[in-house]
Amino acid sequence: MLHDVLLTQKREIDARLEEPFISRTSAPNPAAADLIRVITGPRRAGKSSFAAHLATRAGNGVFGYANFDDERLASLDDYDALLAAIDTLYDKPGILFFDEIQNLPRWELFVNRLHRAKRRMILTGSNAHLLSSELATHLTGRHLTLPLLPFSFSEYLEAKGAGSASARTQSETVELCRAYATEGGFPEVTLKNLSRDDYLKTLLQAVLFKDIVGRYRIRATRALEDAVTFLLSNTGSEYSYATLAGVLGSRSDHTVRKYLGYLEQTFLIFSVTRFSWKVREQAAFNKKAYAIDNGLATAAGFRFSAGLGRLYENLVAIACHRQQLRGMSRLFFWKNAQQEEVDFVQQTGRRITALIQVCADASAPKTREREMRSLLKASRDLGCDNLLLLTETEEGEETLNWHGMKGTITLRPIWRWLLENDK
C-alpha cells in the first residue's frame, strides 16, 4: 500500500518535471546545502515545481518524494516505514523532498530526527503559522525559509512568451501589465488554457474548507467566507476589528482576529500597518488588507469600483510584501491627522528607505497635487527623500515646493518599477 502510494506520487512529480518551468527569479537562491530548505507560500503558487527542480539540482538528478496533501497518507503513523519505502523506491536518495509537510502529524520531530541523521531535506508548506512556530521551536538555526508567491511580473512575461524588453514596444508592455493586474500570477492560470475565475474560486474554496475549516474545526463557515470576500473586494481599504465584526455580524472582536489570522496564515491576504515610530500606536491604528494575488481579488471578490488604480496598488503591495517576507524591508502605510496618505512606506532597520504613491493616471492637476503633496509631508515627517510616484506611463522627475517643503519626486511607470523590483 505505502509503496504503491509513493510510486504513484513519483510518477506525478516526474511528469511535473517534464512540464515547462519558469525560472523563479523572485525566489531566493539558497546556497547552504546543509540546512533544511523550507519553501512556503500559497497553494498552487508553484512551490512543488520549484522544490522539485531545486531537489534535482541538489541531488544530482535523484531525490526521494512524498506528498502529504494526499488522503492516502492521512492515517500514516509509522514514519520509519515511510522512510524505508522511500529509500527502497529511490535507492536511498541524497535529498528528501516532502510536499505540504504541515499535514503530517508531528512532522517537526520526524524532520528533526532525519536532520540529526544527516539526511538533506527540502520541505514545502502552505500554512505560515504552523510552519514558523514549529520551525522556531524544533529547528532553530537548522533551516532556511524560502517564500514563494505567484508569478512576479517578470516571471509572468516569461510564462506568456512575451520576449525580451527590446522586442516589445512600451504600449505592448503596458497592455501586458494591465493583463497581469487583472489575471494575477498563479502559474496554472498563466501557463494553461483554464477558466481563470473558475480555477481561482475553486482554489479559494479548497483553502477555506481544507486548510482552515477542517483544520481549525470552524462551524460558522459563512462568516469566514464573508470575511474573505469582503477583504478581497476592498483591497487597500482600512479596516478595524470592530468594523469587520459589524460587517460579519459577529459580536466578538476575538473571532474576527482569529479569522484574519487564518486568512493570513494560509496566504490569502496580508495586512499592512499604519506607520508610527511608537509600536503601541501601530497596534492601535487601523490596518489595510491586500490580496496575495490580483487574480484572487478579481475572481473571488466583487469587482473593484476603483478600477485599475486599485489593482495596480495591489500589485505594488505584493512586490513590497515579497521583499518583507525575505527580510529585506518592512512595509507600512502613512497617514497624518489631516487624513493625507502615502500608500507605502518601506523601512530597513530604523531608517525609512522609500515612500511610494501609486496612481494609474496622475495627469489631472488636482490628483497630481494631492499625491505629491502627501509625499512631501510624509518626507518631512519621516526623514526620507526617496519619493516615488508610480503611474501607468509617466517617467521623469519633478521638484515641488509646497509652503516651504521642497522635494524631488521620481515618476516611474508601474511596469518598469515592477521589473526593477524583481531584480
Q: Quick one: pLDDT band at residue 153, thresholds 50, 70, 90?
A: very high
Distance, CA of 145 to CA of 36 (rounded, Å): 8
CB 151 within 8 A of CB 178: no
Distance, CA of 56 to CA of 6 (rounded, Å): 17
Least confident piece of the model among 60-64, 106-110, 284-288, 302-306: 302-306
Q: Dump the DSSP string for 358-375.
A: E-S---SHHHHHHHHHHH
pLDDT value of residue 303: 56
CA-to-CA dists, residue 351 to 110, 384, 385, 407, angstroms: 41, 8, 11, 18
pLDDT over threshold 50, residue 149: yes
Nearest to 25 by CA among 151, 179, 110: 151
Q: What is the pLDDT of residues 164-194, one digit of tens each?
A: 878 899 999 999 999 999 999 999 999 988 8
Nearest to 333 by CA among 210, 212, 235: 235
Q: What is the pLDDT of residues 354-405, one digit of tens each?
A: 999 999 999 999 999 999 999 999 999 999 999 999 999 999 999 988 877 8
Distance, CA of 66 to CA of 4 (rounded, Å): 12
Hunting for cell 482576529 — which residue is that? 257
Q: Name residue 143's amino acid.
A: H
Break the chain into its structural domains and give their ranges.
Answer: 2-147
Least confident piece of the model among 45-54, 147-156, 304-313: 304-313
Q: Dump the DSSP string for 312-338.
A: HHHHHHHHHHHHHHTTS-EEEEEE-TT
- Which H or E run includes 233? helix 221-233
CATH topology of domain 2-147: Rossmann fold (3.40.50)
Q: What is the pLDDT of residues 312-342, one digit of tens each?
A: 999 999 999 999 999 999 999 999 999 999 9
Q: Name residue 292's amino acid.
A: I
Q: Name residue 384's amino acid.
A: C
Strand order of the sheet with strand 64-67? 64-67, 95-99, 120-125, 36-40, 143-147
Distance, CA of 34 to CA of 57 (rounded, Å): 14
Q: Is 285 exposed, middle or buried (0-12, 13-18, 19+ CB in 10 A)?
A: middle
Q: Quick one: pLDDT band at residue 128, thresholds 50, 70, 90?
A: confident
pLDDT value of residue 305: 47
Mean pLDDT of the 264-272 span: 96
Q: Quick one: pLDDT band at residue 140, thresholds 50, 70, 90?
A: confident
Q: Tell me what the pLDDT averaged over the chain comes to.
A: 92
Distance, CA of 156 to CA of 203 (rounded, Å): 19
Nearest to 362 by CA among 352, 372, 353: 372
Q: What is the pLDDT of residues 19-33, one digit of tens each?
A: 889 999 888 776 666
Q: What is the pLDDT of residues 95-116, one digit of tens each?
A: 999 999 999 998 989 999 999 9
Report the Cα–Cα distance between both ends of the chain, in Å, rounded: 46
